[in-house]
Structure 1
């Protein structure tokens, strides 16, 4: 498999795009869940937000696999994927924390806020890590 820089750039854009969509969906889901209304419109909105969230997370996973393969194919002198891999681990840890930590809070609004904040923090970490890795591929360290 040849090492094509365009593949790495496309994979980086896909990871950043799916991660951004997931971050936006996390905030929208928290806002919708915090709203006290009931009815079919809210149920439909939650269904749509959940579907988009699941789709973006699946797309993020698949595009991350392509990104990781592109990073591994880089020449040994340009392998700078450690920051991206660390950011990926940070993203996974923030998702785990987003499910564990809010359960300790008594106030549901604070729990939803904490959950959305942890997800957005994880998304920002992941996007920063893959973009940093991509920048280092373009401008290798001296």
Structure 2
């Protein structure tokens, strides 16, 4: 996993669930509400637990500020979830994390895939990094980056 002097990643475990539940409620529930999707605690917890074995807490200067869930296969890197605490958004951290993922993908000949809710303004960040919409459903866009 990518290392930076300021950013550090640690594999999440059960002791992180309260932090991750609060983070998800702050970062995602407004988008889910706007999309008329459930925002109750149980549904939110299920989203936190989805692919939990791939979850890493993002630390900035030893302070937990976010979550990165990533799945790497032979063909692609899937960004399953990337959440940055709203207090730390707009400081280039998401761009820095994604840029490193894109560099790794380029070096290994992989594509990068993610989905984003249509109501989530993060899609402009993804587009600015070179992601293209390759599909959609009622609530989300499916985006891919490839420099192959």
> TM-score, normalized by length of structure 2?
0.24
Greater share of helix: 1
- Greater percentage in strand: 2
TM-score after normalising by structure 1: 0.25
